[in-house]
């Protein structure tokens, strides 16, 4: 699928992303290159709602690469059927209509995200949101929805609470235990300001490193050990 999509797009950030394979399933965990990504949106439906900000930070093995971090606010492209404002979602992410009006264009933001993601695995907490919203934006801008494989720290937390590698998802953790800040609390990680895309991406990266340290003790060695069954 990745190769087919690559043949359909010209040179540029999307083409480079599609033609550069991400780390394979047998990549040792200390060699895996990821990009922790967080998107803030006006809602949870990618068909109706839209992205208002994106934050990301690279992770190289067991190291967070802060110099590669980025954060962008998106202005409305007028295609989502709204008035360009953020509505009630402002109470969650704190961005105002004026912030969004002075944001970057969707194509510019996607180019930056895809450039940062090239040769890396997407890392997110409840990655369905990031994968679906970024996929919709890519289809809108490029006419192609690229395959986005992800490592999901929410699913890693579910696995950890359920017994670890090879033991399935047997526990029934509470929603609070699976939320980003609840999961971080288990490892004594600090509580940052929530729903800021750059901060949440960093928080996800830190959580991932703590989870991987625990999962190594339970037998995780390579990237495939982190994939959701």
Looking at residue 227, its pLDDT comes to 78
Q: How far apart are CA 24 and CA 227, in angstroms?
A: 11
In this structure, whether the domain defined by 2-226 belongs to CATH 3.40.640.10 is answered with no
Q: Once rounded to an integer, what is the mean pLDDT over residues 20-27?
A: 95
Residue with tokens 């990549």: 27
DSSP state of 154: H
Higher pLDDT, 198 or 89: 198
Residue 94 pLDDT class (50, 70, 90 cuts): low
pLDDT tens per residue, range 151-205: 999 999 998 998 655 555 556 788 999 999 999 999 999 999 888 899 999 999 9
Distance CA 15, CA 166 (A): 36
Burial class of residue 217 in the structure, from the number of CB atoms within 10 Å of its CB (0-12 exposed, 13-18 middle, 19+ buried): exposed
Model pLDDT, residue 91: 42
Domain ranges of the chain: 2-226
Report pLDDT for 99.
76
SS3 172: coil
Helix 106-117, helix 127-142: angle, nearest 10: 120
Structure tokens at 43: 């809602």
- What digits encode the pLDDT tens for the residues 119-141? 999 999 999 999 999 999 999 99
Comparing C-alpha atoms, which of 135, 142, 108, 124 is closest to residue 14? 142
Whether pLDDT at 51 is above 80 = yes
pLDDT of 29 above 70: yes
Check residue 90 and give its pLDDT: 46
- CA-angle at 225, arms to 20 and 127, nearest 5°: 65
pTM metric for this prediction: 0.89
117 has pLDDT over 70: yes
């Amino acid at each position: 699928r990745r190769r087919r999509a690559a043949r359909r797009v010209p040179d540029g950030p999307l083409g480079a992303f599609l033609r550069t394979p991400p780390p394979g399933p047998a990549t040792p965990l200390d060699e895996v290159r990821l990009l922790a990504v967080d998107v803030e949106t006006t809602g949870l439906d990618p068909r109706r709602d839209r992205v208002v900000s994106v934050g990301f930070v690279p992770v190289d093995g067991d190291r967070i690469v802060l110099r590669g971090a980025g954060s962008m606010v998106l202005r409305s492209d007028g295609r989502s059927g709204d008035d360009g404002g953020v509505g009630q979602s402002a109470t969650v992410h704190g961005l105002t209509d004026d912030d969004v009006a002075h944001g970057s264009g969707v194509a510019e933001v996607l180019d930056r995200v895809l450039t940062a993601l090239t040769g890396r695995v997407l890392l997110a907490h409840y990655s369905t949101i990031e994968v679906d919203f970024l996929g919709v934006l890519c289809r809108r801008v490029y006419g192609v929805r690229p395959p986005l494989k992800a490592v999901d720290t929410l699913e890693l937390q579910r696995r950890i609470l359920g017994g670890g590698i090879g033991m399935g998802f047997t526990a029934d953790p509470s929603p609070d235990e699976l939320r980003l800040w609840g999961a971080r609390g288990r490892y004594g990680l600090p509580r940052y300001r929530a729903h800021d895309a750059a901060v949440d991406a960093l928080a996800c990266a830190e959580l991932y490193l703590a989870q991987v340290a625990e999962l190594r003790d339970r037998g995780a060695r390579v990237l495939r050990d982190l994939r959701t069954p």
